[in-house]
Every structure is written in C-alpha cells, then in structure tokens.
Chain A
C-alpha cells in the first residue's frame, strides 16, 4: 500500500471517527481551506511563512505553528492545514528564512572555486543549530504581530503549537508575548525563566522514551504552579520524540491521534 493511499485511508478513518482529518495529510483543495505562502518583516529580515485559512470570513482563532529542527517542511505545512480544517487560521513561519530558507541554507562563505553555490549548502538541522535562540523568538514575535492584523484572525484568541526545537520556542514565546492565550508543546522543554510573565495556558505532550525532555516535566509543572499558571502534560507510553510526525520513522499512530485530539480540544476550550 502506497504512502499517500495509506494516508487517504487514515483520513477516511479519522473522519468516520468524528475527528476532522486529525492525523493525516490534508489537501487544501479537498478540505475547504485556503493555503498560501506569505512574507512578513522581522527587523531587517523577510520571513517566509505558510498561511492557511478555513472557509468563512471569521474572525477565527489563530495558531502559530513552530516547526522542529527540520524546518518548514511538508509535515509542518500539513499540520497547519489540519488546524485550518479544524477551524483555525494557521501561520507556520520558516524560521530558517535568515539563512536562506528551509532546504536552501548555506555556509556563510562559499567554497573557493564553487560557481554553483551547491558546495556550501548545509542541512537544515545543521543550519538551525546555528540560529541564535533570540533570533527565532524575534521572528515569531514579528509573525504574531503580522498574524494579529489579519482581518479573519481573532487577536483575542491566539495560540502556538511547537514541535521539538519549535516546542521550546512555542513555550518561550508565551513568556514574552502576552497576546498568546494558549501554547502547545510537543516533546520539548520549557524556558528556564519567565513563568510569571506567561498569560497562556500550556499543554505539553511528552514521549516516554524521550527521557531527557520528558524528565523535566515535573520541574516545569512546579515552576508553572509556583507562578500561578495553568500547565497540563501527558506522557505517551512506548513512544519516542517525533511520535506525532506521520512522515517519520518514530510515528506512533494511536499516540499521535490522541495527542491531536487533546490539542484541538485544548485550543478550542
């Protein structure tokens, strides 16, 4: 059975179960959503982003999707489409824009003699490790400002969903942006400080075998409670990080389905 066929099958199963395309690829043309690539300004940098809107004028609640260390790829775009099909406007910034964009990142200096520019191409994970943490937060904050001005987005109902590398940024953005009302974190730790500044409720999904990340859940819970904030977390048995990613080898369908249901319920609550 081919991959696409399998996904389509899963879409059908999900729909039959009452979940609007919860854990499979959502094609924009079949889900009654509008997807486009946009650009917004962050300081001196143009940030590319994937913007997906549900049908209807809105205003709709808005969700910023923060990608993992693979950049803005098909999986993250699919997550944005799933959110739109669930009634959210979703914006997925490409936080590698400062380095040329996902799939395009390059070394700062081309190798001597290289006329194609290909020899200094670097992988997205390698590139993303070079991004200063603060730069991505700046770009997300600018994205939030851009997002809040969209006519069909309700600025009082803004949220973030982040995965892995983006999970920390999702949580950290909430410590600096009071407009964020809900934050969802997939297999990622919290920032070290700033809990008292968070206005959002935070939902975290952890993988049992992702020990070094999951093991910090108790400390995060204690810090959030001490600051009087709302934090709920779930640990998914027999899973590793990236269990939600249906394009990866660590995908666990049951856990992904449950995590998505909890995410959507939380964002709609």
Chain B
C-alpha cells in the first residue's frame, strides 16, 4: 500500500483546553501558567515554511522533554510549560538539527521571549536520522535474491532491535560475519555468548549469505539502496503533544543515558547504556506504574509521577534473599487500582493507594507465572505461562491453569488478553497460534493463523528443508510466519486484536466464531506491530517497535492514524491507554533508552486557540 493511501483520519474530541491552558497562578511563577507558552515558526534555509518538523523542549536540570510538530504553515505551539531555562531543538530528516536555549518566564516578566523561530539547513547524508521503516524501504526488491534476502534479513535481524540500529553501520563481509557470529548466540538481555550454547538456527544457517548481502547493502563500496525520507507528520498527527520522561537506570539510580535518541543525527543508541522499562499502566490518580525487565537490585515495580517526573522504586526481594530484586516484565491495573505484575515466576500485587506489596506463588503442580497479564471483567488476573495461561482469583487467592494444546516448549507463549466472555487468549508466537481458554469446561482451544501470503514463493528448497527443522524462535523466524506477539480485547464487543509482529498486521478474531480478519499496517518497511490495546471507545492502539511510532486503528472505518515518537531507538514493547482522563492519553515505555512517553491529542480548535494566544503575546511584546 502506498504512503498516499495511508489515511489519516480526523478524530473529533472535546476541546482539550487543559493541554494548552493551565490553572496555575500567573505573575512571577515558574510553574506552568497561562502564558508560559513557547511558539514559533520553522522554515527552510530558503525561507519556505516547513510542516511536520519536530520541536522539542527540555528544561535545564529536568528529565522531562516536551515535543510538538509544526503545522502546515510552519508554526508550532507548545502547551503551557513550567518557567525555566530551556534547551529547544528542531529536527526533520534531511536537515541538520537546529538548537536554541532561552529563559521562559511569564509574559509579565521582563525577559519573556516565548517566540523561537528556526531555520533548518539541509543535510547531505541524512541516513543516521532515518527510522527503521525508511531503512527497510530502501533495501531493493528488484531481483528474486534481493527480495529473498530482504525477507531473511527482516525476520532475523530486526526482532531484538530496530533495523536502523543495524543498517546505520557499514562493514565489509568479514565484518558483518563477525557481527552475526555474536548475534547468533547473544540473548536479548546481552548475556555473554557461550561457545557450547546452541546458536539461533535460522541465523546460523543464513549467516554466510546474510554477511554477503549486508556487505552489498551496507558495505564500504557503492550500495543499491535508495534512501527516501517518508512524509513528515501533518494534520491530526502533527497536533500531538508528546512528553518523554527519563527513568533512572536500575543499575545506577542516579544515572541517565547520555545518548537517548533525542538527536536523530546521532542515530540509534545502544541498549547497553541503560534499558529496562517494559510495561507500564496508569492508575486512576494518574500515577504510572512501570516494571523493569532488567535484572537489578532496586526495583521490581516503580511509580512515575507525571507532574514532576519523580520515580519511586518498590522492590520484592528474591526468595531466598540474594540482594537482587524479583524480576518482572508485565503489569496490569484492575478497577480497584491494584497493580498486578509477574515477579520471579509468581504474581506480584501492589496496592497503589497504600503501597502494600504482596506475592503469590502458583502451586508446584502448575506452571510458573509468565511475563504478560490481563484482568478479566470479573476481576480475575490472567497471566501467561510457558505452557499456556493461569487465572488467579483475588477473592480466594487461588490459581487455575489452562494448558496449550500444542506444547509450550515448541510454541512459547507471549501476550495475553481476556475477552468479553471472560475467556483468556494467549499468543503462541513461534507457532502462529492463539491459545484460548474455555472457562465453562476448564479446557483449552487453539486458533491457527494463516501464513503470510506470498512469502513461500521466496523460499528455496534449502530454506524449506531448514524450516522443517528449525521453526521460529522468538526473534528469529521463518519468512512466512505471522509471529502473534501481544494482544488486546474489546470487552464491550466480540473481538480480540492480535499484534502480528512478523506479519506487521493486526488480526481481528471474532471470539464467538474464531473468524479472523487481517489488517495490514499500511506504512511500508516493517514498522513492527508489537502490542495492541483497546480504548474505552473501541479503538485499537498499537505500538510499532521498529518504527518509533504508535498508531490507532478504528475498527468501524478500518482506518489507521499514526503518530511519530520524538526519539529514535525507542524500541517500545508495550502500549497503554489512560482511560481515566476526560481526553484519552496514551503511554508507551522506551525499553532501549529507559524512558517513557505520554501522547496527548490536540484538536484543530486547540491549535486555533493557541494561535490566538500567541498573537496576543506577540502584540504585548511590541
């Protein structure tokens, strides 16, 4: 599907004046006020207004970055910001990052200077600024072998990390082979490869041809890749306000990553500086509860206060005590504001009001608690296991197990969701299947996904022989696999929505008939549909790990709306909707760079109001 057909639908929401206006006091205050507003104009060096340019602002000494996009006339408007010394930068692919610093005070202050205009200079080599899908789209498909190798690269080298993290580098064939020698054994958490461990079989089997292919595409010599930046955000997508909060590293709670992806010219950051926040949910008071999937000594779950950016850590000690915190991965919050999370094979419980922590362990006859969770309509907590799913009844503190029909060791389990009928669905990622409970009988069912159409034709006889032996293995997959990763259910309807990672689509499954409808993500280049959640209005939100994007799918109109995150290398693995707010807000943690982003959505009317205020402020200064 072409970019032109990528429809941006207009969502009519109540005017979100709170995004632009603040009820705080005015004169002399450094808190956000009506008039601590930053606005300006972005143009090219030739003086042409530029639409869809990202402008970001970060107050000195603070760990919060606010970003907006310029509109069709090149104008941008920030929401009310706290007063203070700010660094502001503007960036677009193909242009050098422009920077400025200034003091933001209330308009009645002497030094008020809320307008900052930027002029962007073109950048000849903009490849390091590109997002993953832009790199993938540049890989040629002119021959059978190019198409085949692109598919193999896609399904073996862009599952643990974004493709632009790989393709921003250039090596000769020997260099690429050395890299793949590490990649075939290293785990996603960076555990040191052992010479006697089993390599990922698909990567090993394709290693030589992958090294040759990558040396052709990103070697020292000429490359057939043709780089073309995607269109910049416009319309609704350009009205979003995105706030990024930095989390401290769990390995050093006074440290933050120095390269956090906020300057696109630096390329995709390494995950080794600081990483970890995997899932996050918002309670009714607006606090964000995050779990850290990196082994550490300080946090099993942490709480972010979005008003201040302060993070408070909570630790469940390993049993027996070792000094390490219990490890976690997923979190869900029920209607009583209880946060449930997995912890070292058990189920953690955090009363978000009293901050009391508890831990429940399944009986030894059952599987251990896995890394993803959901709460059904009756308040039972569902978690994945390697063999299927567990249902925990908080009233009796008892577990019930549902085992996958096809064994977990073969298929693995990742995401989980509970539907309107109270049944659990779990993704068996390596087998392109969904497990499903039948709570009436206590048994399990399974639903099989179709292969990605057209990709069997790219497999050679050797590929097929290999695929008979070596099935998909989390982040290394056969070229025709869908890779159901995480999922969300519409509790008011009859659908579950499955994020098919390798298929880069959303599969809508009717929970009564098991009929499956596939909705391909329209952006070319494998943005990577990772997680799905359904908001209170029945819209489906997905995060796109490889694309530094999130998107909304409207099942009624079958259209997508896309929002580009302000940073490169975000590597998001979860998406949450704050359904408590009058205007929905969306959150997504950046696993790679230890940050978390909040998206707030402005209407055209909001922007008009902002424009009127900016005109008034300009008039007051003259």
Contact = CB atoms under 8 A, between A and B. Distances in A.
Do A and B interact? yes
A219 B463 CA distance: 11
A217 B194 CA distance: 19
Interface stretch (A8-16, A74-82, A138-146, A205-213): A205-213
Interface string A210-246: 1111111111000000000000000100001000000
A203 to B, nearest CB: 17
Contact of A192 (B195, B201, B430): B195
28 contacts: A133-B195, A189-B198, A189-B199, A211-B201, A211-B410, A211-B473, A212-B198, A212-B199, A212-B200, A212-B473, A213-B198, A214-B469, A214-B470, A215-B200, A215-B202, A215-B205, A215-B466, A216-B198, A216-B201, A216-B204, A216-B205, A217-B469, A218-B201, A218-B205, A218-B470, A219-B201, A219-B204, A219-B205
Q: How large is the interface on A (under 10, 10 to 19, 20 to 34, 35 or more residues)?
A: 20 to 34
B622 to A, nearest CB: 70
Given A209-B407, A209-B409, A218 B469 contact: yes
A213 to B, nearest CB: 5
Contacts of A215: 200-202, 205, 466, 469-471, 473
A168 interface: yes
Contacts of A208: 410
Nearest to A134: B195
A250 to B, nearest CB: 9
A163 interface: no
Nearest to B196: A168
Contacts, number: 63
Given A211-B430, A211-B473, A218 B194 contact: no
A23 interface: no
Given A219-B205, A240-B409, A235 B196 contact: no
A214 B470 CA distance: 7
A165 interface: yes
Interface in A181-200: 188-189, 191-192
Interface string A157-173: 00000000100110010
A132 to B, nearest CB: 10
B558 interface: no
Nearest to A209: B410
A169 B194 CA distance: 13
A58 to B, nearest CB: 33
B142 interface: no
Contacts of A168: 196
Interface of B: 194-202, 204-205, 407, 409-410, 430, 462, 465-466, 469-471, 473
Nearest to B411: A209
Which 8 residue pairs spanning A and B have beta carbons closest together?
A: A215-B470, A215-B201, A209-B410, A212-B198, A168-B196, A213-B198, A216-B201, A189-B198
A210 B473 CA distance: 11
Contacts of B470: 211, 214-216, 218
Contacts of B465: 218
Contacts of B205: 215-216, 218-219
Contacts of A191: 195
Nearest to A206: B469
Given A172-B196, A217-B469, 20 more contacts: A165-B196, A169-B196, A209-B407, A211-B410, A211-B430, A212-B201, A212-B473, A214-B201, A215-B202, A215-B469, A215-B470, A215-B471, A215-B473, A216-B198, A216-B201, A218-B205, A218-B465, A218-B466, A218-B469, A219-B204
Contacts of B430: 211
B572 to A, nearest CB: 27
A165 B194 CA distance: 12
Contacts of A192: 195
A168 B199 CA distance: 12
Nearest to B472: A211
A133 B200 contact: no
Contacts of B466: 215, 218
Most buried by A among B201, B409, B462, B466: B201
A217 B468 CA distance: 11
A254 B196 CA distance: 29
A191 B430 CA distance: 26
Contacts of B462: 218
A133 B198 CA distance: 14
B196 A133 contact: yes
A212 B412 CA distance: 12
Contacts of B195: 133, 191-192
Nearest to A210: B409
B471 to A, nearest CB: 5
B324 to A, nearest CB: 15
A215 B465 CA distance: 10
A211 B409 CA distance: 9
A126 B606 CA distance: 60
Contact of B194 (A133, A210, A214, A235): A133
A208 B471 CA distance: 10
Nearest to A222: B205
A159 B415 CA distance: 46
A248 to B, nearest CB: 14
Contacts of B204: 216, 219
B199 A216 contact: yes
Contacts of A235: 469
A208 B409 CA distance: 10
Contacts of B410: 208-209, 211
A266 to B, nearest CB: 21
Nearest to B406: A209
A166 B430 CA distance: 27
A216 B470 CA distance: 7
A235 B200 CA distance: 18
A188 B199 CA distance: 11
Contacts of A188: 198
Nearest to B201: A215
B210 to A, nearest CB: 13
Contacts of A218: 201, 205, 462, 465-466, 469-470
